[in-house]
């Protein structure tokens, strides 16, 4: 079986789980639940984008949300009708207040801009490892945020950019997420993906095996940016309103918590973490409002969700640094368990 | 074997393989490698021995681009690789293993070999002979653990995996840094057979470091002896065994 079909087969289980969850929400849930589910899927796509680079290269990345922001703003500015833009961003640079693209061209141009920024930033960042990489990627996030906030003529600055046509519904997000899972899995098992994982595992040995470290890192960086950008576009064309803070630290924190809890080394880790953290996040969000549970009227406790995310990151780094899934995909869990049991029976460690 | 090492060396002169010319490497004021000129011709198995800290590993690091060269020149098939980075040395056909094992522990055994084979197919296409990942595992006799995660393998198997991985580069020279370290007598014997089979099957040269003198003497056609960064003796095993300088510095008790 070729890698393409083999990966398709390995995507069936996550596809069933994701589509099944969405179907349940659509059948049983309120419109509010459908909203939550949609945002879950856009987050999942972003987490998968993060996994492609960070999980395979083992280099920290705190800047991935920048690409969601670039793509989200680009599609908002390109696709919002001219009449609305006259009110929102009159006299926008490049005459952008006077033109609006069709849906598909707007998305393609937004992705192209995202990829261009990914290429340029990647050329610089792919040389970095360790603390330098962490700080460098975070600097990227801050730079993009500063531009979004201060380029008022183009983005409305810190104020919300509203009136973006709402295009997508939950099934679109599910479809995109399944494709993103497929892409992430395909990359992980590809020759470049395996070489990149080798660099994350033992950098010196990878070089001694002729791996071009910067090149494989750059590829993953750009592919990850593509997925994050896709997540940003899907979010924007569903939400209709965005602001620079939609794509900043809280979103970074949320998606990092998802990846770390699930385990960044596998695509299944990204999915698992996204699900668990999303559910936990909703529980804590409802607690924030001080609900009445079992007759007890709980006080309002704003900030609980932030506390929850911090706790998830600290606890999983402390007690399960490789995340829930470790190095395994869902389909590896059973064979791995069986091998370990067999090994124990033979007295192997 | 009654040919002397110099005769063998001059026979391979001009032919393919690895050559270093007056190579030096120092850390601060301390020379780890000093004025080292060695050759490893096609199809040769050459030994490199010397006491702890003699500079053997440093020499391999310099040849494979892991350390930069301070002095001298290194060539593969007459082409200088002196200033190349590690990955480029690998692409020029320098393959190696590490004294302290450096497998990709989170990857499975097949993927470990795949990493090198990908390099070979992309950058050494003219040398690639159509062997697949499983062929290299077969050659090293570790096909039975192919799907296992490399980090879970026993020590000796990990050392074999490192060799399989290096082979998949289709090297021009293979550098083995203490491949038998930590192995028992049976394993060492088996490894020796395996290395001999590489010699029969491929045409690259092999440079092997080990502290087990019986292993080196039985395996190698020529041996270099290093001490304090310099080559202090060179010869066929019989000559090395008989060399008083060698006995003094290496065989005479300082060996661990
Ligand atoms: N990266 C380094 N920085 C500073 N000194 C080093 C470095 N690498 C090696 N050395 C020094 O260079 C000398 C040679 O070390 P090397 O590891 O090459 O010896 P060796 O012959 O391989 O010894 P062994 O048999 O113990 O493996 C030693 O004195 C060592 O301390
Ligand atoms: Mg050494």
Measure the CA–CA gap between B200 and B188, rounded to whole angstroms: 18
Pocket test for ligand 1, best of B24, B26, B27 (most atoms within 8 A of CB): B27
- Say if residues A273 and A263 touch (Cβ distance below 8 Å): yes
User: Residue A259 burial by CB count (10 A; 0-12/13-18/19+): exposed, middle or buried?
Assistant: buried
Same domain for B14 and B122, yes or no, is no
Q: What are the residues whose beta carbons fall under 8 Å from the beta carbon of A317, sequence distance 6 or more? A: A260
In a domain, B12, yes or no: yes
pTM here?
0.92
Measure the CA–CA gap between A236 and A241, rounded to whole angstroms: 7
Same domain for B88 and B104, yes or no, is no
Query: Helices in A240-320 by DSSP H: which ranges?
Result: 249-262, 267-288, 304-319
Interface contact A204-B105, CB threshold 8 A: no
B68 touches chain A (CB under 8 A): no
In a domain, B191, yes or no: no
A197 CB neighbours in chain B (<8 A) are 104, 106-107, 111
Instruction: Using DSSP, state whether A326 is helix, strand or coil.
Output: coil
In a domain, B128, yes or no: yes
Give B29-38 pLDDT, tens digit per residue: 899 999 999 9
User: Residue A91 burial by CB count (10 A; 0-12/13-18/19+): exposed, middle or buried?
Assistant: exposed
Same domain for B181 and B77, yes or no, is yes
Pairing of strands B39-41, B205-209: unpaired
Short-list A71, A68, A267, A270, CA closest to A182: A267
Q: For an interface test with A, give the residue of B86, B151, B164 to mutate (most A CBs within 10 A).
A: B86
Q: For atom 7 of ligand 1, which residue has the closest CA?
A: B27
Specify the ligand 1 atom closest to the Cα of B229: 14
In a domain, B190, yes or no: no
Q: Which domain holds residue B39?
A: 1-93+172-185+196-256
What total number of domains does chain B contain?
2
Same domain for B6 and B88, yes or no, is yes
Complex ipTM = 0.92
How is residue B180 annotated by DSSP? Answer: T
Give A224-267 pLDDT, tens digit per residue: 999 999 999 999 999 999 999 999 999 999 999 999 999 999 99
Give the strands of the sheet with B230-235, arranged side by side.
B94-96, B173-177, B205-209, B45-49, B222-227, B230-235
Same domain for B129 and B202, yes or no, is no
Same domain for B205 and B79, yes or no, is yes
In a domain, B108, yes or no: yes
Pocket test for ligand 1, best of B26, B33, B51, B57 (most atoms within 8 A of CB): B57
B123 CB neighbours in chain A (<8 A) are 210
- Give me the DSSP letters along B168-205: TT--SEEEEESTTTT--HHHHHHHHHHHHHHHHH---E
In a domain, B42, yes or no: yes
Give A13-66 pLDDT, tens digit per residue: 999 999 999 999 999 989 999 999 999 999 999 999 999 999 999 999 999 999
In a domain, B39, yes or no: yes
At B7 the pLDDT is: 56
Please state the rounded mean pLDDT for residues B177-187: 92
Same domain for B29 and B155, yes or no, is no
A198 CB neighbours in chain B (<8 A) are 104, 107, 111-112, 115
Same domain for B83 and B107, yes or no, is no
Short-list A99, A97, A63, CA closest to A256: A63
- Say if residues A172 and A40 touch (Cβ distance below 8 Å): no
Same domain for B14 and B79, yes or no, is yes
Residue carrying the six token digits 């006299």: A91
Q: Tell me how far the alpha carbon of residue B209 lies from the centroid of ligand 1, in angstroms.
A: 13
Short-list B254, B207, B186, B182, CA closest to B45: B207
**A194, A205, A212: residue with CB nearest B111:** A194
In a domain, B88, yes or no: yes
Q: For an interface test with B, give the residue of A205, A327, A338 to mutate (most B CBs within 10 A).
A: A205
Confidence of residue A349 (pLDDT cuts 50, 70, 90): very low
Question: Could you tell me the CATH number of the domain that includes residue B63?
Answer: 3.40.50.300
Same domain for B89 and B116, yes or no, is no
Give B108-153 pLDDT, tens digit per residue: 999 999 999 999 999 998 887 889 999 999 999 999 999 999 999 9
Same domain for B211 and B221, yes or no, is yes
């Amino acid at each position: 079986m070729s890698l393409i079909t083999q990966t398709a087969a390995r995507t069936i289980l996550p596809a069933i789980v994701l589509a099944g969850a969405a179907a349940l929400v659509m059948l049983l849930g309120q419109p509010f639940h459908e909203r939550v589910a949609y945002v879950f899927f856009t987050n999942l796509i972003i987490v998968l984008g993060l996994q492609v680079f960070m999980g395979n290269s083992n280099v920290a990345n705190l800047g991935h949300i920048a690409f969601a922001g670039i793509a989200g703003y680009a599609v908002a500015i390109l696709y919002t009708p001219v009449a609305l833009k006259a009110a929102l961003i009159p006299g926008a640079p490049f005459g952008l207040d006077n033109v609006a693209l069709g849906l598909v061209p707007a998305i393609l141009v937004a992705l192209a801009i995202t990829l261009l920024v990914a290429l340029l930033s990647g050329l610089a960042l792919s040389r970095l490892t360790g603390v330098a990489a962490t700080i460098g990627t975070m600097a990227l996030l801050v730079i993009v945020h500063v531009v979004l906030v201060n380029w008022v003529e183009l983005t409305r600055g810190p104020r919300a950019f509203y009136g973006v046509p709402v295009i997508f519904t939950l099934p679109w997000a599910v479809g995109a997420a399944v494709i993103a899972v497929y892409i992430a899995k395909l990359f992980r098992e590809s020759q470049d993906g395996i070489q990149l994982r080798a660099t994350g595992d033992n950098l010196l040995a990878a070089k001694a095996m002729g791996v071009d470290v910067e090149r494989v890192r750059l590829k993953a960086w750009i592919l990850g940016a593509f997925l994050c950008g896709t997540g940003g576009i899907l979010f924007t064309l569903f939400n209709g309103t965005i602001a620079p803070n939609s794509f900043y630290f809280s979103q970074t924190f949320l998606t990092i918590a998802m990846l770390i809890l699930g385990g960044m080394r596998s695509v299944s880790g990204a999915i698992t973490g996204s699900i668990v953290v999303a559910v936990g996040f909703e529980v804590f969000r409802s607690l924030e409002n001080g609900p009445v549970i079992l007759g007890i009227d709980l006080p309002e406790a704003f900030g609980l969700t932030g506390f929850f995310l911090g706790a998830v990151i600290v606890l999983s780094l402390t007690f399960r640094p490789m995340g829930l899934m470790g190095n395994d995909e869902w389909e590896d869990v059973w064979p791995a368990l069986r091998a370990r049991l067999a090994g124990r029976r033979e007295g192997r460690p | 074997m009654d040919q002397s090492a110099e005769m063998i060396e001059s026979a391979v002169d001009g032919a393919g393989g690895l050559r270093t010319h007056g190579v030096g490497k120092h850390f601060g004021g301390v020379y780890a490698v000093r004025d080292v000129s060695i050759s490893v011709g096609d199809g040769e198995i050459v030994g490199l021995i010397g006491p702890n800290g003699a500079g053997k590993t440093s020499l391999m690091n310099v040849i494979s681009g892991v350390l930069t060269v301070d002095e001298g020149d290194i060539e593969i098939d007459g082409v200088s690789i002196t200033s190349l980075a590690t990955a480029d040395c690998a692409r020029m056909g320098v393959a190696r293993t590490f004294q302290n094992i450096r497998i990709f522990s989170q990857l499975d055994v097949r993927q470990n070999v795949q990493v090198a084979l990908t390099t070979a197919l992309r950058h050494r296409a003219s040398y690639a002979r159509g062997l697949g990942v499983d062929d290299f595992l077969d050659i090293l006799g570790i096909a039975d653990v192919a799907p296992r995660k490399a980090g879970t393998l026993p020590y000796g198997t990990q050392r074999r995996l490192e060799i399989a991985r290096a082979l998949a580069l289709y090297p021009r020279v293979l550098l083995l840094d203490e491949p038998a370290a930590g192995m028992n007598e049976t394993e060492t014997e088996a490894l020796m057979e395996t290395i001999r089979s590489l010699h029969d099957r491929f045409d690259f040269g092999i440079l092997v470091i080990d502290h087990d003198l019986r292993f080196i003497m039985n395996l190698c056609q020529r041996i270099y002896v290093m001490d304090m960064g310099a080559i202090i003796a060179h010869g066929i095993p019989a000559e090395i065994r008989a060399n008083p300088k060698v006995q003094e510095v290496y065989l005479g008790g300082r060996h661990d």
